[in-house]
């Protein structure tokens, strides 16, 4: 008989597992759970966001393609007539083309190409801020959900206690005041629960509004895991978009300075054309050739070169200051994250190692007549505040971890 029961239980569990697997595949995408990483990926694949990033990079590429092109050729027609008895006409058709023999256009194009790094870094900075906002909204939902679950659990437990006190009042073992005081406490918890659920609903709508997705159940731990090592963080800061932006700008300025430095060399314009000469019965046509050389007398590009070199130096110095500031901020965040995690872990360890529950002790003492209802409710409130404080500390640690990710970039 016992074997038949075990076999029946085994079959039931197996059927339940298979049904669960089939149900997971059958559920639509919006009914499946959503992780932090998937939420960030969805937020960075929103059509409007991708359109903005792609259009910004395309604008930078086209600006580069438009830089350093050959000057357009110039066509000129000159007609000279003299009022002579036989008539005299001299007509010229010119096609003139400036030539870049100094390499200024090539350097200008390289400078524009380097400036594309500024745009790419700006896009990544906005992307990191967007990912940070998505992570913050994601864990805010988890925080509100845990707080609402805790308050609801406490309300149910207090309702059970209230039922027991009501029965004692009927039996004459407790006062009507105790019953009313517990009912008021339950009413307060219901108000807090309603407010918590409203905050949870609002946070979910904000998150999935950014993701442009139907709401789904979130999965994730509020308390972050072990932080990366300081060496890993410092290495990641070397490629921070803020410093890459400044370095790209400095490189663009250096190339622009080199292009301006070549303005001391003269530009050459080549001209070819046709001359038509008519003088009475004489009519002749011939080719003409001209070469023009710019005389760099007043504008030799010195000020533009000096300005570009100064800009490159300023950006390089600013990049060094930015790295020092980012490293200092990262060390502070690492220290804060470790301290906050240790505080949460200490509270969790204390709760796990505590065999006695404060509300249970207070309830036993209340039934024995050793405590009044106010002391009993104070024990309940203390236990709830302790649990909510743990959630608050976990959330604060998570916010620090999110700020650290914004500095180091997406985890690989």
CATH number at residue 156: 1.20.1600.10
Residue with tokens 């913050």: 136
pLDDT at 84: 64
Q: 118 vs 257, 298, 384, CA distance in Å? A: 18, 33, 51
Question: Most confidently modeled of 79-83, 235-239, 278-282?
Answer: 235-239
| CB hemisphere CA count around 364 (13 angstroms) | 5
Q: Tell me, yes or no, whether 132 lies in a domain.
A: yes
Taking alpha carbons only, the member of 157, 191, 133 closest to residue 399 is 133
Question: Tokens 């008539």 belong to which residue?
Answer: 87
Concatenated DSSP letters of 76-99: EEEEEEE--TT-EEEEEEEEEEEE
Q: Is residue 246 part of a domain?
A: yes
Task: Report the pLDDT value the prediction gives residue 404, as an integer from 0 to 100.
Answer: 95
Best-predicted range by mean pLDDT (196-200, 256-260, 287-291)? 196-200
At residue 162 the predicted structure's pLDDT band, cuts being 50, 70 and 90, is: confident
More confident of the two residues 366 and 123: 123
Least confident range of 15-19, 211-215, 267-271? 15-19
Expressed as residue numbers, the domain containing 324 is 34-71+104-264+320-408
Q: List, for residues 213-267, the tens digit of each pLDDT value.
A: 999 999 999 999 999 999 999 999 999 999 999 999 999 999 999 988 888 888 8
In a domain, 286, yes or no: no
Q: Kindly tell me if the per-residue pLDDT of 282 is higher than 80.
A: no
Confidence of residue 71 (pLDDT cuts 50, 70, 90): confident
Mean pLDDT of 149-166: 86
The most confident of 11-15, 84-88, 203-207, 378-382, by mean pLDDT: 203-207
Residue 361 reports pLDDT greater than 90? no
Q: Which residue has the higher pLDDT, 55 or 82?
A: 55
C-alpha span between 154 and 198 (Å, rounded): 18
Range picked from 144-148, 177-181, 380-384 for highest mean pLDDT: 144-148
What whole-number percentage of the chain has pLDDT above 90? 48
User: Is position 113 within any domain?
Assistant: yes
pLDDT of residue 278: 79
Percent of the chain at pLDDT exceeding 70: 90
Could you tell me the pLDDT band of residue 28, with boundaries at 50, 70 and 90?
A: very low
In a domain, 269, yes or no: no
Q: How confident is the model at residue 206 (pLDDT cuts 50, 70, 90)?
A: very high
Lowest mean per-residue pLDDT among 16-20, 147-151, 328-332: 16-20
Name the average pLDDT for the chain: 85
What is d(CA 89, CA 198) in angstroms, rounded to the nearest whole number?
Answer: 92
Query: How far is 19 from 187, CA to CA, in rounded Å?
Result: 41
Q: Of 6-20, 87-101, 302-316, where does mean pLDDT reach its minimum?
A: 6-20
* Residue 399 confidence (pLDDT): 96
Residue 47 inside a domain? The answer is yes
Instruction: Give this prediction's pTM.
Output: 0.80
- The continuous run of DSSP H or E covering 257 comes out as helix 241-261
Question: In the 8-state DSSP scheme, what is residue 238?
Answer: T
Question: Structural domain tally of the chain?
Answer: 1
pLDDT in tens, 340-355: 999 999 988 887 777 6
Decide if 274 is inside a domain: no
Residue 319 has pLDDT above 80, yes or no: yes
Average pLDDT of span 196-205: 95
What integer pLDDT is reported at residue 9 of this predicted model? 34
H/E element, 112? helix 104-171
Worst-scoring range by mean pLDDT, 38-42, 93-97, 393-397, 399-403?
A: 93-97
Which has the higher per-residue pLDDT, 161 or 28? 161
The reply to whether 239 falls in a domain is yes
């Amino acid at each position: 008989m016992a074997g038949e029961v075990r076999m029946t239980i085994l079959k039931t569990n197996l059927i339940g597992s298979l049904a669960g697997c089939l149900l997971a595949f059958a559920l639509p995408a919006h009914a499946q759970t959503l992780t932090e990483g998937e939420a960030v990926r969805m937020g960075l694949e929103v059509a409007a966001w991708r359109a903005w990033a792609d259009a910004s990079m395309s604008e930078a590429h086209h600006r580069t393609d438009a830089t350093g092109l050959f000057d357009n050729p110039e066509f000129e027609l000159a007609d000279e007539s003299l009022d002579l008895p036989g008539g005299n006409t001299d007509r010229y058709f010119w096609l003139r083309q400036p030539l870049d023999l100094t390499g200024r256009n090539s350097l200008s194009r390289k400078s524009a190409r380097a400036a594309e790094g500024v745009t790419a870094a700006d896009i990544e900075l906005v992307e990191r801020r967007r990912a940070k906002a998505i992570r913050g909204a994601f864990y805010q939902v988890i925080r509100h959900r845990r707080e609402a679950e805790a308050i609801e659990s406490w309300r149910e437990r207090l309702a059970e206690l209230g039922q027991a006190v009501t029965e004692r009042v009927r039996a004459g073992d407790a006062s009507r005041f105790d019953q009313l005081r517990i009912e008021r406490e339950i009413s307060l918890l219901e108000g807090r629960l309603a407010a918590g659920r409203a905050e949870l609903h609002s946070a979910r709508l904000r998150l999935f509004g950014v993701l442009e997705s139907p709401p789904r159940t979130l999965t994730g731990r509020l308390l972050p895991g072990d932080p990366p090592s300081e060496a890993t963080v410092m290495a990641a800061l070397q490629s921070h978009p803020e410093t890459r932006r400044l370095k790209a700008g400095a490189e663009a300025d250096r190339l622009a300075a080199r292009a301006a430095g070549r303005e001391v060399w003269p530009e050459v314009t080549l001209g070819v054309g046709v001359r038509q000469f008519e003088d009475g019965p004489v009519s002749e046509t011939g080719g003409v050739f001209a070469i023009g050389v710019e005389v760099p007398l007043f504008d030799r590009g010195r000020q533009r070169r000096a300005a570009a070199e100064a800009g490159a130096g300023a950006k390089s110095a600013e990049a060094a200051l930015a790295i020092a500031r980012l490293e200092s901020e990262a060390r502070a965040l690492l220290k804060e994250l470790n301290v906050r995690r240790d505080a949460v872990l200490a509270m969790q360890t204390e709760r796990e190692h505590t065999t006695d529950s404060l509300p249970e002790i207070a309830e036993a003492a209340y039934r024995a007549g050793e405590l009044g209802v106010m002391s009993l409710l104070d024990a309940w409130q203390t236990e709830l505040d302790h649990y909510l404080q743990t959630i608050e500390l976990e959330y604060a640690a998570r916010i620090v971890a999110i700020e650290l990710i914004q500095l180091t970039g997406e985890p690989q």
